[in-house]
Structure 1
Amino acid sequence: MTNFSISRRNRILSLTALLLSLCWSNSWAAITPAKKPVPKDCVPLGNWVIPGSGPTTQQDVISRAAKASVVLLGETHVNADHHRWQLQTLVALHAVRPNMVIGFEMFPRRVQAVLDKWVAGELTEKEFLRAAEWDRVWNTDANLYLPLFHFARMNHIPMRALNIEASLRRLVSEKGFYGVSIEQREGLTRPAEPSQAYLDYLFPIYKQHDRKDKQKGEMNQDDPDFRRFISGQQLWDRAMAQVLHRALAESTGSEKPLVVGVMGAGHVLHGFGVTHQLHDLGVQNVVALLPWDSDKSCKNLVKGVADAVFGVLPNVSESFQPQFQRLGIRFEMGRGGAVVLQVEKNSIAEAAKLQDSDVILEMAGLPLKNTEDVVTIVKRQVPGTWMPLKIKRDDQEIQIIAKFPLLKH
């Protein structure tokens, strides 16, 4: 098999994906760290725990969180139990603070008008998902998220689109913040500098990831690739923090709303990401809550990982089956096909050796002219079948095979 070198840009983007898949802000200052190692079953199913302290109650967590300016609810995107926990937490918070705004990482800013129409009751589910370009932008089974969207609509809670275009993150990773024109920045301001703790946390992960093309020798945190990787991640965090901050600043009533952000856990972990950017924007009262898989190592349950965590089942619940096949890529149309922006970890695409910046020209022998072609072809694949892909990589056309596994019963 021919070996293809991975470009610097691809490495940065894949590192971002790795970070979010590995990551599960700041804890309440009054909590004293545990002096003894946490027990094996550190977060029992259906229970709240304050990292560094111990078990607590739902009433205590919700009453504290409801007093915050911003509450961040982390998730692993494909875990159904994480979304059930998010809905339960939103319901509890709404009972205490009904004046609420919910921001979602799943939507880019340009579809904000679609979210407004959804909350106003002007769109059906199908119309909403199509207009929001769900299958192209997020490409995760919408049934995982629809209960959250319906909760917002049923209770007239404004929804905010938190994300930016993947192409902008890629540009900043390549050229740096000031290397991207003001017109391309989508109104973003320069992110706050990362804390040293954040750099120390990410650097070992960065060094362990595919570094075959680096010269042997000691690397340090001034490595240009590492700094570009950090810049791309921080831009993502800054973008979401700005929208959450704006939701507070633009409120017209005497009482500020409780602003809740729904996002991947990697943006919430240890307060390094969105919380850090919110603090830089002047929002100090931020509470971070995370679901905690029952098989997750208790060594990670340290003071500061979150304000509180809630025990859930690991991975995807057995009762949940995806409603359609997923290849596991983020993409945009261009260059004669579907340009791969990001390959998800542990996906069919990763197993097929797809790489960031590959251009998929054909799927199952069919040319790709628009987003709907990609989505339709993938959805209709029968479990257990193989789908040939013609791709262009480094000006060379090659064939690879995407193998769709049998679904579990």
Structure 2
Amino acid sequence: MQAGFRFGTWVGAVGLLTALLAGTVKAGSDCPAPGAWSTPAGEPLDAAELYADLATREVVLLGERHDRMDHHRWQLGTLSALHGQRPDMVIGLEMLPRSRQPVLDAWVAGELDPEAFLKKSGWYEHWGFDPELYWPILHFARVHDVPLLALNLEREYIQRLGHEGWDTVDADTRDGVSAPAAASQGYRDYLEAVLERHPAGMGPDSERFIATQLAWDRMMAGGIAARIKAGGDTPPLVAAIIGSGHLEYGYGVPHQLADLGVSEAAVLLPREPGGCADSDPALADAVFGVPHDERFERSSLMLGVHLESDDAPGIRILRVQEGSVGEAAGLEAGDRVLRAGEQTIRAAGDLQRVVQATPPGMWLPLQIEREGKRLERVARFPRED
């Protein structure tokens, strides 16, 4: 598995969806040249003409694999070019739930420093990927006074919507977003293929998996559509930063946007050598060649534990990945992590922050509780080659 909560502390099935949908395309040779735009079939596109067309759209959806710094740098360049065409632009973020909208507003207004933003937004609890990946975009919005728009719901609500039905989450909590349009057969096949890559014994059944994905897509589409509607006769251009798995082939968010009456949505995807899809023109409106550059790589350290929150001290380990650092450290399902290094662990985000700060090749002391006994374990992270 290439991604998840990047440091291996995943919470629930919704977090795992992020991992599985992060990069679903087939390898191929029809990649655009680095720094160039093309159609999915490999036909070159003129950048000036492309941006002129994008400026007439209601929505521009920018895909990503969440843990790729070069994808986020491409997004930043594209946002900058779009802003030159449409200074009324709004940037939508998959990363945070609607309840954190006041924090995004305060960030753009210059009222928060980075540390306060991470704390008040609950970044690690809601997202979990290294914020260094997203700082350039967040600072761009602040410098240019571009509004940021929270598109998601808390994970627990997304999971309830998918597993228990739309009426289990009150309309105010979901901002009045209506139930999703049914998935096309193509999307169902796409998601079934994703589910086949699910680690054994960890996945929800296919219907719940698909329903949860639809809930996720619908909430993001609903946030975008509501912002356009609020603009009245002069709606802004909403440029949304969303994982590619929600965008490819128009199946996810674009399909839900169309159902909500937003038809002028463009999908843009980054592609690096060896990571291209087939030549299906339905993949996206345009793809951009991102040169693979190791300087842009982020550490992929993972503890490899799947966590479950409850009211007891520490954080409970639900599962341990086979072959992971956590397994090598002797962690087991049912253990509770109480301390990591000098940090008392009260939530999944606490453990994520500590693992994130641990350099490759270092050891991380862990205090755990197992069957009422406190034990010491050491997580040994491999060195980078």
Is the deviation greater in 118-127 or in 256-265?
118-127
The amino acid across from 1:21 in the alignment is: A
The amino acid across from 2:22 in the alignment is: S
1: CA distance between counterparts of 2:380 and 2:128? 18
In the other structure, the counterpart of 1:369 is 346
CA separation of 1:340 and 1:313: change in aligned 2, threshold 3 A: farther
Q: Verify: 1:319 aligned to 2:292, yes or no.
A: no
In the other structure, the counterpart of 1:56 is 45
Unaligned ranges ≥5, structure 2: 1-10
1: CA distance between counterparts of 2:276 and 2:300? 31
2: CA distance between counterparts of 1:239 and 1:343? 31
Query: 1:275 offset after TM fit, Å?
Result: 0.5
CA separation of 1:361 and 1:343: change in aligned 2, threshold 3 A: same
Query: 1:363 offset after TM fit, Å?
Result: 3.1
The amino acid across from 1:251 in the alignment is: G
Query: 1:176 offset after TM fit, Å?
Result: 3.5
Aligned 8 A contact 1:177 1:231 in 2: no
2: CA distance between counterparts of 1:140 and 1:321? 13
Is the deviation greater in 396-405 or in 198-207?
396-405
CA separation of 1:190 and 1:383: change in aligned 2, threshold 3 A: same
Calculate the TM-score normalised by the size of structure 2: 0.81
Matches within 5 A, 1:2-401: 12-13=13-14, 16-24=17-25, 40-52=29-41, 54-180=43-169, 185=174, 187-207=176-196, 209-210=198-199, 225-252=205-232, 254-298=233-277, 300-314=278-292, 317-320=293-296, 322=298, 327=303, 334-336=310-312, 337-338=314-315, 360-364=337-341, 367-369=344-346, 373-375=350-352, 377-387=354-364, 389=366
Unaligned ranges ≥5, structure 1: 1-9, 25-37, 215-223
2: CA distance between counterparts of 1:168 and 1:358? 26
Query: 1:65 offset after TM fit, Å?
Result: 1.2
- How well do the aligned residues superpose, as a CA RMSD in angstroms? 3.9
**Residue correspondences, number:** 373
Query: 1:57 offset after TM fit, Å?
Result: 1.4
CA separation of 1:79 and 1:304: change in aligned 2, threshold 3 A: same
Calculate the TM-score normalised by the size of structure 1: 0.77
- Alpha-carbon displacement from aligned partner over 1:192-243 (angstroms, at most 9, x marks no partner): 11011111222233245445699xxxxxxxxx92110001111111111111
Aligned 8 A contact 1:109 1:164 in 2: yes
Aligned 8 A contact 1:14 1:343 in 2: no
CA separation of 1:366 and 1:90: change in aligned 2, threshold 3 A: closer
Query: 1:310 offset after TM fit, Å?
Result: 0.2
1: CA distance between counterparts of 2:370 and 2:213? 25
